Structure 1
């Protein structure tokens, strides 16, 4: 029994934007992580005591940072799904259906 039996006669779709975007995701991730972290580090390193306004900026930067991480992760998962969907089609193992009892179809269920 072969686990991955390809469907005969299936033509693969050409790759498109998903590969280009998937290759750029590490760079996008690093750049989008560096900018909020640089702001946070600047506030922490160049101030002795942080006031309420500076803490608000830090919390906003953390919110932007986590939002960007989730967005980039979602885009990466979407690219992988598109790549898998454009790949070859596989045939599942056959499943024999049980024998039907035709006499049950003639009587209404009570």
Structure 2
């Protein structure tokens, strides 16, 4: 018995933009991460001189903002990847579930009453 019975006569939908999105996402993830790490690096270059307490608080603020935006970026990329994967799966072949015999009657059996 075959576990996956394809639906006869089903025409598979051709791949669309979801494949392009899935191919582009690794580059978006890497380059976006590098781009979002630049403010933290730039803050270390520009705020490195001067009062240590003020520089430390400014660096901490920039780091917190950079990390929060970085996590937001990763979450957005993951969400888009999940959505594109779902669309890709839904465009795949259709399968037939196992037959389930249904007892059809106009009135319920007396043994079924509670």
- Compute the TM-score of the two structures, normalised by the length of structure 2: 0.78
CA contact (8 A) 2:44 2:59 kept: no
Deviation at 1:6, TM superposition (A): 0.5
**Structure 1 gap ranges (5+):** none
Q: Deviations over 1:50-70 (max 9, x none)?
A: 422221111110011000000
- Compute the TM-score of the two structures, normalised by the length of structure 1: 0.81
Change (3 A) 1:100 1:51: same
**Structure 2 gap ranges (5+):** none
Q: What does residue 13 of structure 2 align with?
A: 13
For 1:1-110, what aligned pairs fall within 5 Å after superposition? 1-43=1-43, 47=48, 49=52, 50-98=55-103, 100=105, 102-103=107-108
Deviation at 1:100, TM superposition (A): 4.5
* Runs (4+) off by over 6 Å: none
